[in-house]
Amino acid sequence: MDYVNGPGRNHLFVPGPVNIPDQVIRAMSRNNEDYRSPAIPALTKTLLEDVKKIFKTTSGTPFLIPTTGTGAWESALTNTLSPGDRIVSFLIGQFSLLWIDQQQRLNFNVDVVESEWGQGANLEALASKLAEDKAHTIKAICIVHNETATGVTNNLVTVRKILDQYSHPALLLVDGVSSICAIDFRMDEWGVDVALTGSQKALSLPTGIGIVCASPKAIEASKSAKSVRVFFDWKDYLKFYNLGTYWPYTPSIQLLYGLRAALDLLFEEGLDNVITRHNRLATATRMAVEAWGLKNCTQKEEWHSDTVTAVVVPGYIDSSEIVRRAWKRYNLCLGLGLNKVAGKVFRIGHLGNLNELQLLGCLGGVEMVLKDVGYPVKLGSGIAAAAAYLQNTTPLIPSRI
């Protein structure tokens, strides 16, 4: 933004990367350190223990990998599976599509269950496949918890119930990149075997840490998995965990201190309060969309995402122009429609370091842009609906009571 400067703050409302808290920026503003000194292993030990809390696990083993969510995907797959293994994977939007592409390129036998974009995973199809799989040829179920392209959240409780109903031993691998720390996620309770997220989403850090958490069952599977892995090999991490030095290669010192600050902020607010805040902001956004006379891309309320809302525009409007105009005229960053929904939707991200007044500013900007591109929105309609809801539901800030 330094090269395309505009007055005031840039209003970042894409569904990741998100706004970084000042406390995290200050924590990262430091020189390099020797990661083999006693200080970094001591810091890492606390991070590993506290990261388990965001997954709601006591038995999982976390890995802080210097990578993106895409690298975390590969880590989850290659450490638990062998080439040719059969996977059931759900295609419901752009990011589930990309994960499936990775699964296929890693030479797994991917059984793709596709749904219309805007719908959740077809869990009836999952039940049918598990019922037929008497020989247990399915080795893993791969599912994106929150599909960022369409604003769809899948029901992991039901996925686990289906697996248990058929006493099926398949591993449950979950992409929680845009859900963990923002949408209720319970690794142990839901029997998730590998969960993963990225630092640039609800944790509100820069991109650069892929956080993977593996159940004891997944760790055991990694001992016999034959997929080639080097950089992402859990075995190397576990070796250094046992040595007490933690790092098989050089970590980003600055990101580790940033993660410490980010976790402290989450725990100060309270993780359950953070999840409630995301639901509140998402509900307000959906009320604004309804007041504008527009539709949510998500086709059923049960699938509504609390981290991103994909807004469907009328056929005579190119949603990409909304995103361009928002950035050029109002210094507002919205998410583009991707792939099948390109030009048809724009996305409002409402996750991470965000509060009610920031959201209302975004909604006001969206209204002006809609007016700019010829949509007959009544200015103030969405803001009024959202503000009325927020005024009645926003609690006092816990640290200021």
Residue 3: per-residue pLDDT: 80
For the residues 227-252, what does the mean pLDDT come to? 97
How far from each other are the two terminal CA atoms of the chain, in whole angstroms?
Answer: 37
For the residues 232-248, what does the mean pLDDT come to? 97
107: how many CB neighbours lie within 10 A of its CB?
14
For the residues 241-267, what does the mean pLDDT come to? 97
Helix or strand run (H / E) with residue 14: none
For the residues 322-336, what does the mean pLDDT come to? 98
Name residue, tokens 């991707």: 338
pLDDT for 322 beyond 80: yes
For the residues 84-109, what does the mean pLDDT come to? 98
pLDDT in tens, 256-268: 999 999 999 999 9
Binding residues: 347
When pLDDT is cut at 50, 70 and 90, the band that residue 1 belongs to is low
How confident is the prediction for the chain on average, in pLDDT? 97
pLDDT for 2 beyond 80: no
Alpha carbon distance 12, 178 (integer Å): 16
For the residues 101-114, what does the mean pLDDT come to? 98
pLDDT in tens, 23-50: 999 999 999 999 999 999 999 999 999 9
Residue 207: per-residue pLDDT: 97
Question: 369: closest CA among 323, 310, 335?
Answer: 323
Q: What is the DSSP letter of 37?
A: S
pLDDT in tens, 359-387: 999 999 999 999 999 999 999 999 999 99
Binding residues for substrate: 347
Q: What is the DSSP letter of 335?
A: B
Q: What residues have CB less than 8 Å from 334, skipping those under 6 apart?
A: 13, 14, 322, 323, 326, 327, 346, 347, 348, 349, 366
pLDDT for 109 beyond 80: yes
Q: Does residue 102 contact residue 74 with C-beta atoms inside 8 Å?
A: yes
Sign of CA dihedral 257, 258, 259, 262: positive
pLDDT in tens, 300-312: 999 999 999 999 9
C-alpha R_g of the chain: 21
Helix or strand run (H / E) with residue 88: strand 86-91
* % of the chain with per-residue pLDDT over 90: 97
Alpha carbon distance 278, 261 (integer Å): 20
Amino acid code (one letter) for 217: K
